Amino acid sequence: MKLGIQLPHGGDIASRETIAAAATHAEQIGLDSVWVWDRLLRTTRPIPFRGRPPGPMPRVYATVFDPLETLTYAAAMTKRVQLGTSTILALFHSPVVLARRLATLDQLSGGRVIAGFGLGWLEEEFTASGIPMARRGRRMTEFVGAVRAVWGADPVSFQGEFYSIPESDIGPKPVQSGGIPILLAAQSDGALKRAARIGDGVNPFATMDFKRLQRDVALFRRTAQEAGRDGTLLPVVLRANAQLTDTRLPADGRLLFAGTVDQWRDDLERIRDIGVTHVIFGSDVPPPLDVQLRVLAELRQHLR
């Protein structure tokens, strides 16, 4: 199992110094990857979403460094760790532009990029981007196809309902043979099935208990098999919204990676048994960076 850390590029902690420290120390202690996330804005008048009452958005959303520029900065000071997005809000981008930016980063980093794409859920971000929220799933399916076309052999061409690419030569191409792996974020059955059908892996979020994750992984693997793919070969990259405590939390109702370091170790063993291949540790309100790195070094040694 691989372990990664979310870079501190959002909120009051975000700075060139903290990002550099996290990236270089992650590589030094043997972590496998560093990750970034995406947020365009912090709305001050949030619209209810899926029945949730209005309320203030997390302060960390107010300032988020651009994910790809942040990864480029991290790439320049590391040599080994993979560089992932978990996730970039793909639909707010042109597929040609985003494909070229990711391929450029893959070239400059020597083939270390993992592209995690998410649909987005904040209506105000869609408004600001000029993109309708309707039919997001179909748009994402086509977006992935267009990005892969750009990474394929020249001349590139693509014709779809939402995106069109005239026959063209488009470079650079990724270093990685077959293109950069694309993970699709999934928090619903529809998203899990989409990832199983068209993704190179799935990126669920661990704001759930173990039984829910077990069920989601099984659905992902089963759908991949039904689509004629070997579901056992597709990675499950879990983003753990971790909560570290000094005392053990009661087992009843405890979410994954909430509790003590010992409870995190137990969670790693359980999710490895159901086929999770990679875990990203991060949180909107994380422990101090030195504490995160110390704990992850312990977990890395435990897994070895």
DSSP string computed for the chain:
-EEEEE---BSTT-SHHHHHHHHHHHHHTT--EEEE-------SSPPP-TTPPP-PPPGGGG-B--HHHHHHHHHHT-SSSEEEES-EEGGGS-HHHHHHHHHHHHHHHTS-EEEEEE----HHHHHHHT--STTHHHHHHHHHHHHHHHHSSSSEEEE-SS-EEEEE---PPPSSTT---EEEEESSHHHHHHHHHH-SEEEEB--S-HHHHHHHHHHHHHHHHHTTS-GGGS-BEEEEE-EE-SSPPPSTTPPTTEE-HHHHHHHHHHHHHTT--EEEEE-SSPPPHHHHHHHHHHHHHHH-
- Which has more pLDDT, 3 or 209? 3
| pLDDT at residue 16, rounded to an integer | 96
Indicate whether 7 pLDDT > 80: yes
Least trusted range by pLDDT, from 39-53, 81-95, 183-197:
39-53
- CA–CA separation, 250 vs 257, rounded Å? 13
Indicate whether 140 pLDDT > 70: yes
DSSP bridge pairs for 282: 241
- CA–CA separation, 42 vs 54, rounded Å? 13
| pLDDT at residue 21, rounded to an integer | 95
Q: What percent of the chain has pLDDT over 70?
A: 95
| pLDDT at residue 205, rounded to an integer | 85
DSSP bridge pairs for 159: 164
Indicate whether 51 pLDDT > 70: no
Q: Structure tokens of 5?
A: 């850390």
| pLDDT at residue 273, rounded to an integer | 95
Indicate whether 53 pLDDT > 60: no
Confidence band for 303, pLDDT divided at 50, 70 and 90: confident
| pLDDT at residue 56, rounded to an integer | 79
Confidence band for 50, pLDDT divided at 50, 70 and 90: low
Confidence band for 220, pLDDT divided at 50, 70 and 90: very high
Q: What is the mean pLDDT of residues 106-134?
A: 95
- CA–CA separation, 13 vs 10, rounded Å? 7
Of 40, 63, 84, whose CA–CA distance to 277 is shortest? 84
Prediction pTM value: 0.94
CB burial of 62-86 (b: ≥16 within 10 Å; e: otherwise) equals eebbebbebbbbbbeebeebbbbbb
Indicate whether 285 pLDDT > 70: no
Mean pLDDT of the chain: 93
- CA–CA separation, 39 vs 17, rounded Å? 21
Of 65, 43, 176, whose CA–CA distance to 121 is shortest? 43
| pLDDT at residue 284, rounded to an integer | 65
Least trusted range by pLDDT, from 141-155, 215-229, 250-264:
250-264
Q: Structure tokens of 193?
A: 């099935």
Q: What is the mean pLDDT of residues 84-100?
A: 97
The predicted-structure confidence for 184-196, as pLDDT tens digits, reads as follows 999 899 999 999 9
Indicate whether 112 pLDDT > 60: yes
Q: Which residue has the tokens 């939402």?
A: 162
Q: What is the mean pLDDT of residues 230-238?
A: 95
Q: What is the mean pLDDT of residues 262-267?
A: 95
Report, in angstroms and rounded to the nearest whole number, the Rg of the chain calculated over CA atoms: 19
